[in-house]
Amino acid sequence: MNQIAISILAILFAVPLIWAAVTSITPSDEMLTRANPFAVSHPTFNNYVAAWQTIPFPVYYWNTLLIVAGVLVVQLLTATLAAYAFARLRFLGQSLLFILFLVQIMIPPDILIFPNYTIMKDLHLIDTKWAIIIPFWASSFGIFLLRQTFKQIPYELDEASRVDGCRWWQSLWHVYLPSARPTYIAFALISISTHWSNFMWPLIVTDSVHNRPLTVGIAIFAQSSETGAQWGTVTAATLMVIAPLLIAFFFFQKQFVESFMHAGIK
Amino acid sequence: MTRHLLQVFRRYNWKDNILAYALLLPSLIFLVIFTFYPMIKVLDLSFYESVMNERRFAGLELYGHVLRDEVFLKVLRNNMLLALVTVPVSILLALYMAVWVNGKLRGRSLIRAAFFYPTLIPMIAIANIWLFIYTPDYGLLDKFLGLFGIEGPNWLGDPAWVLVSMMGMLIWKESGYFMIFFLAGLQVLPKEIYQAAELDGAGPLRKFRTITLPLVMPTTLFVLIIATTNSFKLVDHLYIMTKGGPNNASNLLLYHIYETAFSFWDMGKASVLTVILLVILLVISVFYYGYLDKRIHY
Q: Distance between CA A233 and CA A24 in Å, rounded?
A: 7
Q: What is the ipTM for the molecules in this complex?
A: 0.90
Residue A13 has pLDDT above 90, yes or no: yes
Min Cα distance A111 → chain B (Å) is 7
Q: Give phi and psi for B28, each to the nearest 5.
A: -60, -40
B12-33 burial, b at 16+ Cβ within 10 Å, e below that, comes to eeeebbebbbebbebbbebbeb
Non-local (6+) Cβ contacts of B145 within 8 A are B151, B152
Q: Chain A contact for B33, CB < 8 A?
A: yes
Residue B151 has pLDDT above 80, yes or no: yes
A92 and B17 within 8 Å at the Cβ level: the answer is yes
Residue A182 has pLDDT above 50, yes or no: yes
Q: What is the mean pLDDT of residues B171-185?
A: 91
Residue A244, exposed/middle/buried by CB under 10 A (0-12, 13-18, 19+)? middle
B207 contacts in A (CB within 8 Å)? none
Residue A191 pLDDT: 93
C-alpha separations of A225 from B58, B132, B140 in Å: 43, 12, 18
Residue A148 pLDDT: 86
Lowest mean pLDDT among A11-15, B96-100, B208-212: B208-212
Q: What is the mean pLDDT of residues B155-176?
A: 94
Q: Chain A contact for B89, CB < 8 A?
A: no
Residue of A nearest to B261 (CA): A114
Lowest mean pLDDT among A64-73, A93-102, B102-111: B102-111
Highest mean pLDDT pick, B55-64, B107-116, B268-277: B268-277
| pTM confidence score | 0.90
Q: What is the share, in percent, of chain B residues with pLDDT greater than 90?
A: 52
Please give the single-letter amino acid code of residue B37: Y
- The residue of A12, A104, A112 whose CB has the most chain B CBs within 10 angstroms, and thus the best one to mutate to test that interface, is A112
Highest mean pLDDT pick, A236-245, B135-144, B195-204: A236-245
Residue A30 has pLDDT above 90, yes or no: no
B87-105 burial, b at 16+ Cβ within 10 Å, e below that, comes to bebbbebbbbbbbbbbeeb
Partnered with residue B49 across adjacent β-strands are B56
For A185-227, the pLDDT digits (tens) are 889 988 999 999 999 999 999 999 899 999 999 998 888 765 5
Residue of B nearest to A222 (CA): B128
DSSP letters for B242-284: TTT-STTTT--HHHHHHHHHHTS--HHHHHHHHHHHHHHHHHH
B187 contacts in A (CB within 8 Å)? 261
Residue B5 pLDDT: 65
B184 and A266 within 8 Å at the Cβ level: the answer is yes
Residue B153 has pLDDT above 60, yes or no: yes
A111 and B232 within 8 Å at the Cβ level: the answer is yes
